[in-house]
Amino acid sequence: MVARLLTSFSRFLCRNDAERGRLIDVNRRLRIASQGSIALFLVAGLIGVPTFGPQYLLPVPGALALFWWMQRSLRRSPRPELRLAAAWLVSEVAIAAAIVLAKGPSLHLLPALTLPTLLVSAVFPTRVAVAGMFATWALIAATGLLADPKLVLEQPPYLAYPAGVLGSLTMLFSIGRSADLASRAGAIVDRLTGAFNRAALIPRLAELSHRSQPLGGRWR
């Protein structure tokens, strides 16, 4: 039953080899940028210790270790899309836990929940980005109500603003994603013959390279 659910979820994340190849390729290209974003995130977190207390950083080390392991093991996984989705989920849960643990004006930390979803929006297809956006909206609301229910009910903008920012940026990312797909299609297909050209080999080689990695002593 669990295996069947994972298979269905994997097909929702990536319906074919083309989507999986783009996922692997874009994730590779964004690796340095995502690492830089995490570093800046950590610096901001350390700066916030005097305001929010050191306890709000407790979920961070474990989440970073899991995120790093999932990224490192991506190429060895038969379904890398599941690893990336798990990395997103771990990041979101860790940030939500940090907000709940924070003291003082913890609701000011709610916009931090948008960062993992934006990274996912750049890698996954539009349908996954939209699903991630709705899931993050629900998580923002739940986290806000857990952290300071009275203030959330008295001042709804604490939830509305980060939700609005996330929705706006997700739409902008979808435009960029559509432009990327159009550019890839124009680059890999010869307009005269309709045949694939050499540029089509890049995402395909990424997918074939992933499939050629041994898994548990056997080749896929």
Question: Tokens for 73?
Answer: 């093991």
User: Cα–Cα distance between 149 and 92 in angstroms, integer?
Assistant: 20
Note the pTM of the prediction, 2 decimals.
0.77
CB atoms within 10 A of CB 99: 24
Distance, in Å, from the CA atom of 20 to the CA atom of 16, rounded to the nearest integer, reads 6
Collapse the DSSP code of 126 into the 3-class scheme (helix H, G, I; strand E, B; otherwise coil) and give the result. Answer: helix
Residue pLDDT, tens place only, 162-184: 999 999 988 887 776 666 665 65
- The percent helix, strand, coil of the chain (3-state, each to 5) is 80, 5, 15
Burial class (CB in 10 A: 0-12, 13-18, 19+), 189: middle
- Decide if 76 contacts 97 (C-beta within 8 A): no
Query: Out of 81-85, 103-107, 165-169, which region has the weakest mean confidence (pLDDT)?
Result: 81-85
180-205 pLDDT tens trace: 665 655 555 555 555 555 555 555 56
User: What average pLDDT does the structure give for the chain?
Assistant: 81
Residues in the chain: 220
- In this structure, the number of other CB atoms found within 10 A of the CB of residue 193 comes to 8
User: Which pLDDT does position 58 carry in this prediction?
Assistant: 92
Q: What is residue 182's predicted lDDT score, i.e. its pLDDT?
A: 57
pLDDT at 209 over 70: no
Per-domain boundaries in the chain: 2-219
**Residue 192 or 33, more confident:** 33
The pLDDT of residue 219 is above 50:
no
First to last CA, the chain: 23
**pLDDT for residue 75:** 67
The answer to whether the beta carbons of residues 189 and 7 sit under 8 Å apart is no
| Average pLDDT estimate for 143-162 | 93
DSSP string, 66-112: HHHHHHHTGGG-S-HHHHHHHHHHHHHHHHHHHHHH--SSGGGGGGG
Q: Beta-carbon neighbour count of residue 74 at 10 Å?
A: 21
